């Protein structure tokens, strides 16, 4: 899985309510508002590839 695919999946899992919650808690744009459960799904697919995560 490459960086573009990961970013596309983040966009697919984006949730406006979660995004607003993160902003209320101090997060700043740009962010997708992805729920932790969905992040874990993506994490399983990329298997903690350090080289892939460095640009993020």
Contact 32, 16 (CB under 8 A): no
The predicted pLDDT at position 4 comes to 84
Structural domain including 39 reads 3-53
The predicted pLDDT at position 37 comes to 92
Number of domains in the chain: 1
And the tokens for 30? 């740009």
Distance CA 54, CA 17 (A): 27
The predicted pLDDT at position 17 comes to 92
The predicted pLDDT at position 48 comes to 64
Whole-angstrom CA distances from 18 to 7, 13, 25, 30, 45 are 17, 10, 11, 13, 22
Each residue's pLDDT tens digit, 5-56: 888 898 999 989 999 988 999 988 888 989 999 988 888 888 766 666 666 5
């Amino acid at each position: 899985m490459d960086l573009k695919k990961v970013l596309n999946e983040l966009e697919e899992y984006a949730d406006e309510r979660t995004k607003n919650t993160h902003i209320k808690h101090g997060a700043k744009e740009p962010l997708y508002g992805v729920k932790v459960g969905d992040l874990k799904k993506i994490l399983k697919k990329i298997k903690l590839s350090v080289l892939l995560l460095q640009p993020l």
